[in-house]
């Protein structure tokens, strides 16, 4: 893994982790739980907050998919749309791939051109970051709902609620775009190995044998 990708991984987890940290902090306030180190501003507190945010970004990565993004992605059908877009805008090129073959095709690309695969994978990394941000805003939107139920209606709570919902949907929409672009690049670059999976696998094997001198 390159240094750039490593730094990107840090920020991709830390940014949504900040939202998760803020959600947990608001939750402690809601439950009247006192956390002393959060109430005191210092370099140690800030450093600890950043580290905790990074860890939370990793911890919530799977829940953000299973509890939120999975249902959106299933509805959007990103692989199918990506392949349809390629066929629509490149009518002279024959794409006989199936949507479910995307990961196998990506493995072929990664095997022969790791740098190209990293550039393609950046789309998925952006999607993961944005889906976590979207899920973070969903969690933050829960807080004003609880306050409204407990304390009654307030315009301030309503604004926080609507803000969380709107930003969550915007982040989710952008995450879907990045995932669609991820699959689009896979199908487009896989065309260099053949117009269908069977041919692509044969060409991949042939290139590998030629490279190792067998």
Domain boundaries, the chain: 63-212
Eight-class DSSP state of 214: -
Q: Tell me the per-residue pLDDT of 74-100, one tens digit each, with 9 for 90 and over.
A: 766 899 999 999 999 988 888 899 999
61 pLDDT band (50/70/90 cuts)?
confident
> What mean pLDDT comes out for the span 162-167?
95
Q: Band of the pLDDT at 14, cuts 50, 70, 90?
A: confident
pLDDT at position 192, please?
A: 92
DSSP 68: I
Mean pLDDT of 1-28: 76
* Per-residue pLDDT at 1: 43
Task: Please give the Cα distance from 26 to 15 (Å, whole number).
Answer: 17
Q: Which sign does the torsion angle of CA 43, 51, 129, 4 carry? A: positive
**75: exposed, middle or buried (Cβ count in 10 Å: 0-12, 13-18, 19+):** exposed
- Give the whole-angstrom CA distance, residue 127 versus residue 73: 11
What does the pLDDT read at residue 83? 92
The mean pLDDT value for 165-178 works out to 94
Q: Give me the residue label for tokens 């269908």.
A: 196
Summarize pLDDT for 101-117 with one digit per residue, the tens: 999 999 999 999 999 99
Rg (the chain; Cα; Å): 22
Burial of residue 39 (number of CB atoms within 10 Å: 0-12, 13-18, 19+): exposed
Give the pair of three-digit tokens for residue 148. Answer: 């409204």
User: Is the pLDDT higher at 12 or at 138?
Assistant: 138
Taking all residues of the chain, what is their mean pLDDT, rounded to a whole number?
86
pTM of the model: 0.83
Task: Report residue 36's pLDDT band, with 50, 70 and 90 as the boundaries.
Answer: low
Of residues 139 and 10, more confidence is placed in 139
Question: At residue 42, does pLDDT exceed 90?
Answer: no
């Amino acid at each position: 893994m390159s240094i750039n990708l490593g730094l990107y991984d840090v920020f991709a987890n830390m940014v949504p982790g900040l939202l998760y940290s803020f959600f947990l902090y608001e939750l402690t306030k809601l439950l009247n739980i006192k956390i002393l180190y959060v109430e005191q501003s210092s370099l140690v507190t800030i450093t600890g907050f950043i580290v905790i945010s990074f860890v939370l970004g990793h911890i919530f990565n799977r829940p953000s998919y299973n509890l939120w993004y999975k249902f959106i992605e299933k509805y959007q059908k990103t692989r199918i749309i990506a392949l349809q877009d390629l066929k629509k805008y490149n009518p002279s090129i024959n794409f006989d791939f199936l949507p479910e073959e995307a990961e196998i095709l990506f493995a072929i690309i990664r095997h022969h051109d790791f740098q190209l695969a990293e550039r393609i994978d950046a789309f998925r990394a952006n999607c993961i970051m944005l889906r976590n941000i979207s899920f973070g805003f969903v969690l933050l939107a829960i807080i004003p709902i609880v306050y409204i139920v407990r304390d009654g209606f307030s315009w301030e709570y309503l604004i926080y609620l609507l803000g969380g919902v709107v930003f969550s949907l915007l982040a989710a929409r952008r995450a879907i775009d990045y995932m669609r672009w991820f699959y689009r690049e896979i199908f487009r670059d896989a065309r260099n190995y053949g117009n269908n999976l069977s041919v692509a696998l044969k060409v991949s094997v042939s290139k590998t044998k030629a490279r190792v001198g067998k």
